[in-house]
């Protein structure tokens, strides 16, 4: 994924690249939080 991003960077403005990276970070954080919640629920059971 990151390789694809860097190869397209020349066509994009740095602003668009930054937006994509921020979205990716947000998505990753959401997945981490969901995993933590699932583990916490599993421990309660």
Cα(36)–Cα(43) distance, rounded to whole angstroms?
11
Burial class (CB in 10 A: 0-12, 13-18, 19+), 25: exposed
pTM, rounded to two decimals: 0.54
11 or 43, higher pLDDT: 43
Helix/strand/coil for 45:
coil
Does 22 score more than 60 pLDDT?
yes
Across all residues in the chain, what is the average pLDDT? 83
Please give the C-alpha separations between residue 31 and each of 7, 12, 26, 35, 40, in angstroms, as whole numbers.
26, 27, 9, 6, 14
pLDDT of 13 reads 76
32 or 3, higher pLDDT: 32
| Residue 6 pLDDT class (50, 70, 90 cuts) | low
Q: Mean per-residue pLDDT for 5-31?
A: 82
């Amino acid at each position: 994924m990151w390789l694809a991003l860097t190869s397209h960077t020349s066509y994009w403005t740095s602003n668009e690249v930054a937006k994509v990276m921020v979205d990716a970070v947000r998505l990753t954080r959401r997945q981490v939080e969901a995993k933590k919640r699932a583990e916490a629920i599993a421990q309660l059971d």
